[in-house]
Amino acid sequence: MTTWQLTYQLPNDFETNSLRNLLEQQWLLPHRIVHFLRLRQDVMVNQNYLPMNFMVKATDKISMRFLASDFRTSESRYLMDNSRVIKILFENENLLVVNKPAGIKTHPNQPFETGTLLNFVAGYLAKSRAAPYMVHRIDQQTSGAVIVAKNPIVVPILDRLISSKQIARSYVAWVSGVFDQDAGKIELPIGYDPADKRKRKVAGVKAQSALTMYQVLKQTGDRTLVRLELATGRTHQLRVHLAAIGHPIIGDPLYSMAGNEKMLLHAAELKLIVPFEQTKIKIYAPEPPYFNNL
């Protein structure tokens, strides 16, 4: 049976807290998994099993052993593909952040499919006997920073950090037209487009609220470079919102008439809280060479 062992020493400035609060409130492990750790006595403080109400303090060493049965998705089934080298922006024992090129999917949709980001990451991780687990995705034609977990332990932690906006992503895009104001927000509900199953549309079928913030960075003729931040994460949100206000992303094959070989949307910056270490870091994904050729 596959197992994962993690050990962390609490930092010198750690404020004394109960072991349970450390695991659930600070490290964000799901209550269900903490329950399994307790039942099996698979969480140790300084190599000793202690009750969950034990007060842990600075410099204590916390060791945890996880089993595959602890997780709803414990096995990574992505086939290895070594045909492409992916740029690694950050990596530690639990996760990596990669700079996805435009034109490749984040993950496969068919059982034996290769050629996607997670297939390439599987090939990269094979030498270290780790495997990729999907945390979030970006569109096939979008480039930029993507988080990939290296074990199932951090997937629910990262999910909670993303949903609570503690992990934030910023995009840059070249769009058509000139904005009337340098910054603003787009708050329009997004649903399915009944005329095209590939697309979404404002006020479409089963529409959900969606909010995007934008800031103008540069203008070149009738084209504008904008910085974008998502307050919600609807499918195609940036693409639909910008098209809806008359500023479609250049090169967008679904929502823009402004042709370009590549869609000029890039996930440029990622503010990440590193699980267990709880350090805050900012990761920049360099823009592809074609991005500023306008």
Give the span between the Cα atoms of 276 and 155, in whole angstroms: 12
Indicate which residue of 139, 180, 193, 222 is catalytic. 139
Diameter of the chain measured on Cα atoms: 67
What span, in angstroms and rounded, lies between the C-alpha atoms of 269 and 133?
21
Query: Which candidate, 174, 177, 204, 178, places its Cα nearest to that of 189?
Result: 204
Active site residue 42: no
Phi, psi of 31 (to 5 degrees): -55, -40
DSSP notation for 231-252: SS--TTHHHHHHHHTT-PBTT-
Residues 133 and 110: beta-carbon distance below 8 Å: no
| List of residues 6+ apart from 171 with CB closer than 8 A | 142, 144, 227, 228, 229, 230, 238, 265, 266, 267, 268
Q: Can you read off the two tokens belonging to residue 160? A: 């909670």
User: Known catalytic residues?
Assistant: 139
